[in-house]
Amino acid sequence: MSKPIYELVDNLPTRNITVYALRSLDFILPGEWDNLVGFENTIRTVTRETDEALIKAIGQRAIQLFNDKSQGYQRALWLYQTIDSAGSALGTAALAGKIGEKVSFVPFLNRLTPKPEKAQTLDLCLKLVTEVVAFCQINGIPGDSIGDFIKALADYGGESLVRMAALVSFDGLVPLGPNFIRQTQSTLNKLTPKDLEGNPAFKQIKSLIPGKNTDKQLGFIEASFNSTQEWMGNFVSSKGLSPQKITHNFQKFVDIADDKLDYFGAFLDMTTNYYEHTGVQTLTRRLIERAVAEI
């Protein structure tokens, strides 16, 4: 188990590259993301309760649920944290002192190298699989329930929907271009179990991906992407998304020169943990909703 859930929520940042990146997506989903920080504040916001005794009881029950290892909450959190750490070589901490309302990272960008296409494609797919498996863990259903996830995806909102928007934008469109869905499908079709075993992120989350062996797990990854690609395609087309629009809106928060945009995907990989940030918020919301229902 990592830190207590209340401590994780209390310590969520209000101003860093991750927060700026998520705020830059407001043009896609206006007002959808409220950066809820603080355990008690989240309880009050989610429940709209004002009774102090009831708020305390809800918090205590939510903490008990999270601490119960027979439930899937800790595993879901571990997935959110691990998939982000696998993609981040430097992390936000190394840049914390440079954060401002509008900051330049040109010298830093000169030291970055964009990931190879195959590695970037796998990153996208493994983040998607993390979303599927974490959803199943949080909701107490079998980890290979892709159909249940797809049904739920149609009703995604708040930080969960913004996390998927970030996946499509920052791990799909920006590094792989407007044809990222077709490109990812093509790469997956050529992928072998050996390719998968050589991926650092896969090695870390392999234990929670459904499948008795790497071949079966590759099949699950392919099935997850195939089942979700229609939603992603519709999301891109309905919002009129393009790599240029995403980078332009991000530049309102962080100063990245136009001639450095080739490094933008690598920059996001190394400086954001949007899966963990929004994952903690999703997890806390579900814990509170269940606690309320049980009390």
pLDDT at 26 over 50: yes
Tens-digit pLDDT profile for residues 186-236: 999 999 999 999 888 999 999 999 999 999 999 999 999 999 999 999 999
The helix (H) or strand (E) run that includes residue 138 is helix 117-139
As given in the structure block, the two tokens for residue 22 are: 């998520």
Indicate whether 262 pLDDT > 90: no
- Structure tokens belonging to residue 251: 């530049």
Please state, in angstroms and rounded to a whole number, the distance separating the CA atoms of residues 3 and 15. 21
Mean pLDDT, the chain, integer: 88
Report yes or no on whether pTM surpasses 0.85.
Answer: yes
What mean pLDDT is predicted for residues 246-253?
Answer: 90
- For residue 102, pLDDT beyond 60: no
pLDDT tens string 128-160: 999 999 999 999 998 789 999 999 999 999 999
CA distance 44 to 177: 41
3-state SS, one letter per residue, for 243-277: HHHHHHHHCCCEECCHHHHHHHHHHHHHHCCHHHH
How far apart, in Å, are the Cα atoms of 126 and each of 1, 61, 275? 22, 32, 12
pLDDT tens readout for residues 106-115? 555 556 666 6
Predicted confidence at residue 108, as pLDDT, reads: 58
CA distance 144 to 141: 8
Of the two residues 207 and 2, the one the predictor is more confident about is: 207
pLDDT reading at 90 higher than 50: no
255 in the Ramachandran plot: left (φ > 0), alpha (ψ -120 to 50) or beta?
beta
Which is higher by pLDDT, 2 or 139? 139
Q: What angle do CA 57, 280, 238 make, to 5 degrees?
A: 120
Answer whether residue 86 shows pLDDT above 70. Answer: no
pLDDT band (50, 70, 90) for residue 270 = confident
pLDDT band at 98 (very low <50, low <70, confident <90, very high): very low
Percent of the chain with pLDDT over 90: 74
